[in-house]
Amino acid sequence: MGNSWFLGCWQDKHRRVGDGALVVTVVDDKIEKVVTIVFGGFESIHLGHRRLLSHVSGVNDGGVLTFEPLPKEALGYSESRVLTDDERLCAFESMGINQIIKLPFEKIKDLEPETFLSRYLEDVQTIVVGENFRFGRNAVGDISLLKQWCQLNRKNLIVEPLVSVDGEIVSTKAIKNYIHHGNMERAMKLLGYPYFIRGPRVHGNRIGSKIGVPTVNLHWSKQKTRPPYGVYDGFLLSNQWSGPALASFGKAPTFDRKDVLLEIYVPGIDLNIGAGEIVLYGFHRFVREEKKFPDATSLVQQIREDENDLAKDAPLIEAEMNQLLLLFSRACLLPSR
């Protein structure tokens, strides 16, 4: 007999997130105490994912069934994410999802589809998947097989169609491609929120402050999908101040810096954000490529022009910032130290 969901299958893998409403458990046996299950990796929580997740949002006996690690990562097909694990949990919690069930991918990857279903979903009554869902060894299980199993075992099956935007099917692969090429506007259309990076502030060499352009600096997380080097319009979220901001991503070639940083600049404000404090930068659009200027004066002159572009985009940027906060809890994204 499987272990109770509420007791946790492995005690050290059972934890509550945030205010305690969201429970995350790793299981290796039959799932119990969950009536409705939504399947998926949900790496980016894009528009299609959110259609699926709506079936368990605010449902006490509903849950999300996902994998640890994600299959594409375990098989070496993916090296970066749109959202980190913590960011996904922030979204799940904000959406009113109560239970996240993680299956160890190494333990299920070689199971035949029917074995997988019988072992884990015997007590689940309703299964929700997208129309392109595949499962089981070598991903041979498909919707047709799942439908047959559900009919034989008197389960409800909900198959959601893929979501399209302007004729393009929404997918994490497409979103990553847009981010890689700096098309942040298109990535946001498919995500339904602006792409962002978050992390602890790190000290730079204070060159920005010396030339009148003080910055808040972040190292780029290896987990996150990288955009191209260059200057971006977007917004800063912090516990000190939030609003439109410029950001330069790269190696600051004018000053021959070796390490890669995201340098966030808020025109007219020298922010008092301490080292280690979590901040977030949301991307609105790619402004220009990274460039080596002949001197600091030329660089500052270009930054003043960039400020004018930022001011023009400010109303739209603020709307996008609010759009992000509809899906992600601010308190979860920016925990107090």
Residue whose entry in the numeric block shows the structure tokens 């200057």: 231
Note the pLDDT of residue 14. Answer: 44
3 state DSSP class of 132 = coil
The position carrying tokens 């075992």 is: 153
Determine the Cα–Cα distance for residues 308 and 305; give it in Å rounded to an integer.
5
What CA–CA distance (Å, rounded) separates 50 from 122? Answer: 25
pLDDT of 234 reads 99
For tokens 């160890």, the residue is 104
Residue finishing a domain among 107, 131, 165: 165
Question: How high is the pLDDT of residue 4?
Answer: 24
Burial (0-12, 13-18, 19+ Cβ within 10 Å), 222: exposed
Q: Are residues 195 and 242 in the same domain?
A: yes
**Using one digit for the tens of pLDDT, what is the confidence trace for 26-84?**
887 888 889 999 998 899 999 999 999 999 999 989 999 988 777 677 666 767 899 99
Which structural domain range is residue 247 located in? 188-333
64 lies in some domain: yes
- pTM for the full predicted model: 0.90
Alpha-carbon torsion 307, 312, 318, 321, what sign? negative
C-alpha span between 156 and 165 (Å, rounded): 29
Asked whether residue 52 falls in the same domain as residue 100, the answer is yes
Per-residue pLDDT tens listing for the chain (337 residues): 232 222 222 223 444 444 546 888 888 788 888 999 999 889 999 999 999 999 999 998 999 998 877 767 766 676 789 999 899 999 999 999 999 999 888 888 889 999 999 999 999 999 999 999 998 888 899 999 999 999 999 999 999 999 999 999 999 999 999 999 999 999 999 999 999 999 999 987 778 888 989 999 999 998 899 999 999 999 999 999 999 999 999 998 888 888 899 999 999 998 989 999 999 999 999 999 999 999 999 999 999 999 999 999 999 999 999 999 999 999 999 987 6
Find, among 285, 200, 276, 308, the residue nearest to 235 by Cα. 285
How far apart, in Å, are the Cα atoms of 78 and each of 45, 86, 101, 172? 16, 18, 22, 11
Upstream peptide bond of 200 is cis (omega within 30 degrees of 0): no
CATH number at residue 259: 2.40.30.30
DSSP letter at 92 equals H
Give exposure, 48-81, as e/b (b: 16+ Cβ within 10 Å): bbbbbbbbbeebeebbbbbbbebbbbeeeebeeb
Number of domains in the chain: 2
**Same domain as 147, residue 253:** no
Give SS3 for 105: helix
pLDDT score, position 323? 96
Same-domain check for residues 214 and 272: yes
Is residue 296 domain-resident?
Answer: yes
* 55 and 143 assigned to the same domain: yes
Give the pLDDT confidence of 223-243 residue by residue, as tens digits. Answer: 899 999 999 999 999 999 999
Q: What are the CA-CA distances from residue 274 to residues 122, 293, 307 (Å)?
A: 51, 30, 24
Name the H helices within the chain: 47-53, 71-74, 85-94, 105-108, 113-120, 143-152, 172-180, 184-191, 207-210, 296-327, 330-333
Q: Is residue 217 part of a domain?
A: yes
271 and 129 share one domain: no
Q: Is 65:99 a contact under the CB 8 Å cutoff?
A: no
Tokens 């977030």 label which residue? 280
Asked whether residue 3 is domain-assigned, the answer is no
Bridge partners (DSSP) of residue 250 are 261
* 200 falls within a domain: yes
